[in-house]
Amino acid sequence: MNGHHLILGELDDFITGESIKDTHDERYRQQLAHLLVNRKGYLKSEVEPRKSLLVRAGKKKAIIKIDFLIKLAGKVCMVIKYGPGSIVTRRRPLLAVSRIIEPYQVPIAVVTNGEDAEIIDGSSGDVISRGLANIPSKSQMIEIASGKPFNPLPAHRAEMESRIVYCYEVDGSCPCDEDICKLMDNEHFMKKALELAEGALSQGEFPVGCVMVHREEILVTGTRRGTLGDDGNELDHAEMVALRRLIEVGNPVDHGEVTAFCTMEPCLMCYAALILAGIGKIVFAYEDVMGGGSGCELSRLNPLYKNSPITVVANVLRIESLQLFKAYFSNPANRYWKQSLLAEYTLMQ
Ligand SMILES: [Zn+2]
C-alpha cells in the first residue's frame, strides 16, 4: 500500500464542512481549497470538491473523482486535479477530463501535486503557466471565461477523451486508490455465478450458482445443494443458500440496491423469497422452462408482491449456463430432474 493513501483519521472538509477521511493526499487537497478561497478569491459555493465523473473504455466503466471544479455564472471554468509525484504524466488525462466533465470544453485545467502546478488551456492543450501562484484568481478567471465559446465536443471525440481518462486514471491507478470505483457489468458477475455453478456440477450437483451484489461488490454467494441421490432437497436452491448467508452476515445494506445474479431463472420459491427479502433486481442466464417463476404476473397477486419494485433481466451469458445444464443432463449418473421437460428442452439445443 502506498503511504499517500494511508488513512490517518478524519478531518472536516474546508469547503463543505463534511467529515472525510484524512490522508496525506487529502491534506494537500485541503491546502488547495484554502488557496482557492483565501488567496484566489473564490467563494466556497463556487468550489465543488470531489466531483464524480463516469468514464468509459468500450464496455468498461468507472467512476473517478475530480478534486475541484470552479463554477462561475453557472459554467464550470476550471477543473483541478491533484495527484502526488510527477505532474507531467497527468496532463493529458486531465485535459481529457476538461473535455468531458461538462457538455462543453472547460477553459482551464490545472494539474498539481500540491507543490507545483501546470495551468493548461483546455482548447489548445498548451501549458500557459506554471506554479500554484499562477492558478487564475477569480477576477482573472472571469476575464479568461469571457473570451471562451464553451463549445460542445463532437460525440466521437468525447468518447475518445473518455477512453484516455479511463486508461490513465483507472487502468493505471494504484489498487488501493479508493477514489476510483470500477463499475462491473452484468457479465462480470454472471461469470462469477457460473464459476459456482461449474463447481456444483463437478460435485455432481445441479449446476446453479447465485451471487448477490451491492454497489459492485459481492456480498454473498450460493450454490445448489442437495441434488445428489434420489431424494432431491427442494429448499437448498442456490438463491435460498445465498439469501440465508445474507441474513447471517448481517450486512446492513439496502436490499433494494442488491442484485441477485442467478445462472438459472429462479423458481417460484426463490423468486418469492427474493421479493420478500426486498432484493431490487434479478439477473439470470438460462430460462427454466419447467419451473421458472419470474414470469409470474405480480400485478394479479396480493399487495406485497403487486407492489414489489423488483426488476428481472434475462439471458445474460445464457449459452454458457446452458452448456453446464447440457453437461449435467448428458451424464447418466445425474438423476435430479432426469427425463423431465427441462432435461428434454436442454438436450435438444
Ligand atoms: Zn429456486
- Give residue-wise pLDDT tens across range 79-105: 999 988 888 888 999 999 999 999 999
Q: Report the amino acid identity of residue 141.
A: M
CA 150/CA 215 separation, integer angstroms: 34
Q: Active-site residue among 118, 239, 265, 287?
A: 239
Find the radius of gyration of the CA atoms of the chain.
26
CA 270 to ligand 1 center in whole angstroms: 4
* Count of Cβ atoms closer than 10 Å to residue 34 Cβ: 13
CA 252 to ligand 1 center in whole angstroms: 24
CA 329 to ligand 1 center in whole angstroms: 18
CA 237 to ligand 1 center in whole angstroms: 5
CA 280/CA 69 separation, integer angstroms: 34
CA 236 to ligand 1 center in whole angstroms: 8
Instruction: Reply yes or no on whether 18 is catalytic.
Output: no
pLDDT tens-digit profile of 203-245? 999 999 999 999 888 999 999 999 997 777 999 999 999 999 9
CB 287 within 8 Å of CB 263: no
Quote the pLDDT of residue 131.
96
CA 177/CA 3 separation, integer angstroms: 11
The two counts, helices (H) then strands (E), for the chain are 10, 14
Quote the pLDDT of residue 7.
75
CA 189 to ligand 1 center in whole angstroms: 19
Query: Can you read off the three cell numbers belonging to residue 284?
Result: 439470470
CA 162/CA 167 separation, integer angstroms: 9
CA 208 to ligand 1 center in whole angstroms: 9
CA 28/CA 32 separation, integer angstroms: 6
Q: Report the amino acid identity of residue 231.
A: D
Confidence of residue 176 (pLDDT cuts 50, 70, 90): low
Taking alpha carbons only, the member of 80, 56, 75, 81 closest to residue 151 is 75
Quote the pLDDT of residue 1.
39
pTM: 0.60
